Amino acid sequence: MVLPLGVGRAPRRRTGLGALTLAAVAVLLPSPATARPAPDAPDGHCARLSQLRVPAAARQQADCLDELTTAGTAATGHTDPADWAGLTPKNLATPTGVPGIQIDGYFPDTSTTNTNHGWNHDAQFVIRLPDRWNGGLVVAGTPGNREQYANDRAIADWVLARGYAYAATDKGNTGPAFYRDGSRPGDAVAEWNTRLTQLTRAARASVAQRYHRPLERTLVTGMSNGGYLVRWQLENHPELYDGGVDWEGTLWRAEGPNLFTFLPAALRDYPTYAAGGPAAGQAREALLRAGFPADSEFLWPYHHEVYWDLTQRVYREEFDPGFDGEKEAGTPYCAPGTVPGCDADYDYATRSSGVHAAVERIALTGRIGKPLITIQALSTCCCLPPGLRRVRAYVRQRPGGRYRYYRIEDGTHTDALVDTFPDRLRPLLPCHRSAFTALESWLTTGHRPPANHTVVRPAGADQASLLAECRLDG
């Protein structure tokens, strides 16, 4: 969800969504020394570069690159490795041989948490247009509260190598203090959805300018908070997409489940479990009842240190800032009953109707308008515990409908943890790729993916084979 960074204090302020205007003038900046200009030939390498204008962008920079994947962009400054650190296995291969155009820029906004390019401006985006195009576009929002390059290694490299154009947004606010953006509870998260819709429309127009032939398919995908955005887009703007793949998306339901229905239990009961003694067994049972899977105890120390406390406090501040009074984002790692407004004492069910209404503004309904595939890890301990019954019932449908839900045995929320526990975990990334290709087949040939089921770990499989393949029909 979020990176373990410090949380400072600043007044909440409204994001610049109200200031968005189609009259904003796109500004083309000079190409840096690492990029080279290209002639405006009708076709070929970087064709029509000087003609590209991203609709509604306040600023843009278009560069002709010999390599659009991280094999090249990490060296030329057209990505930020810090954005995607900790999301993929260390042995993940990087494809090469994808020349084309990269457009960086931002839409009008008043918040300034994203410092990429020295712009200090939110609503930043990246659009990549490969020379060899397959007719499709993939759009993504970022996981956690990261910036626009966070999916580059896990998603962008692979889809670009397959010939897709690619676009991603920072969602309009970044960092662990994202909740400061906006004037009322829920504004910052609501902006995430608006920004992905905005980028999708702009990227579709940019693709038309670049290739001068019809766009055949628009797919939306993302992990964690980015997976939440996939669901929301297919519920609210299905006209923009042909389908989507949700990778461990956070589930927001006003009535639950949501982060506030299981994270406080982790904060209350994990310290007792970790301390051992006669109360440890009871605390473990409480964690299992909250939805955390059995046999995932080896992951609990990491998630307690990195995710549970910070995630509960900053998202609670976004939707329920009055819980801790004038304090901002609570008291880190407080024990139940020790300080006023301790998040270990948080009880979402008893909070005011205004808090529930703030969650309702951004909540998911399950009423998707286009095909959607969800992959979820059975050993996840973060933002979508598989023990929650309503996770499995997110989309209520007739058999053979628009939704597929695959639970991945031995997978967990962050693939980098596979390197730490290679004998106990498997990467989700190959399963995401299998889900993506299954969606492609579903859309192009009508071949429906397998029914919802658990994807078991193949007997005797080592990490190399698990990284190479994930069979959803296995």
Mind listing the pLDDT tens digit for each residue in 219-242? 999 999 999 999 999 999 999 999
Q: Please say whether the beta carbons of 438 and 472 come within 8 A.
A: yes
Q: What is the per-residue pLDDT for 14?
A: 38
Residue 354 host element (H or E): helix 353-362
Domain parsing of the chain, residue ranges:
62-215, 222-251+368-473, 259-361
Question: What distance in Å separates the CA atoms of residue 43 and residue 45, rounded to the nearest whole number?
Answer: 7
Q: Please say whether the beta carbons of 364 and 231 come within 8 A.
A: yes
CA 346 and chain centroid, separation: 26
* Total length of the chain: 474
Tokens of 396: 């209520």
CB-based burial, 309-342: b 16+ in 10 Å, e otherwise: bbbbbbbbbbbbbebbeeebbbbebbebeeeebb
Nearest to 15 by CA among 208, 188, 260, 242: 188
Question: What distance in Å separates the CA atoms of residue 142 and residue 245, rounded to the nearest whole number?
Answer: 14
Question: What distance in Å separates the CA atoms of residue 471 and residue 474, rounded to the nearest whole number?
Answer: 5
Nearest to 248 by CA among 229, 265, 235: 229
Q: Please say whether the beta carbons of 264 and 275 come within 8 A.
A: no
Q: What is the per-residue pLDDT for 426?
A: 96
Q: What is the per-residue pLDDT for 385?
A: 73
Q: What is the per-residue pLDDT for 382?
A: 79
Question: What distance in Å separates the CA atoms of residue 147 and residue 113, rounded to the nearest whole number?
Answer: 10
Look up the pTM and report it. 0.91
Task: Collect the ranges in the chain with pLDDT lower than 70.
Answer: 1-42, 387-393, 397-399, 474
Q: What is the per-residue pLDDT for 104?
A: 98
The residue with tokens 């042909």 is 242
Question: What distance in Å separates the CA atoms of residue 135 and residue 163, rounded to the nearest whole number?
Answer: 8
Question: What distance in Å separates the CA atoms of residue 225 and residue 223, rounded to the nearest whole number?
Answer: 6
Q: Please say whether the beta carbons of 40 and 51 come within 8 A.
A: yes
Q: Please say whether the beta carbons of 372 and 403 come within 8 A.
A: yes
Question: What distance in Å separates the CA atoms of residue 205 and residue 226, rounded to the nearest whole number?
Answer: 22
Pairing of strands 59-65, 100-106: antiparallel
Tell me which DSSP letter residue 49 carries: G
Q: Please say whether the beta carbons of 432 and 374 come within 8 A.
A: no
Question: What distance in Å separates the CA atoms of residue 89 and residue 9, rounded to the nearest whole number?
Answer: 35
Tokens of 227: 């997976």
Compute, in degrees rounded to 10, the torsion defined by CA atoms 345, 346, 348, 354: 130
CB-based burial, 197-209: b 16+ in 10 Å, e otherwise: bbbbebbbbbbee
Helices (H), 239-279: 259-275
Q: What is the per-residue pLDDT for 11?
A: 39
Q: What is the per-residue pLDDT for 31?
A: 39
Q: What is the per-residue pLDDT for 389?
A: 57
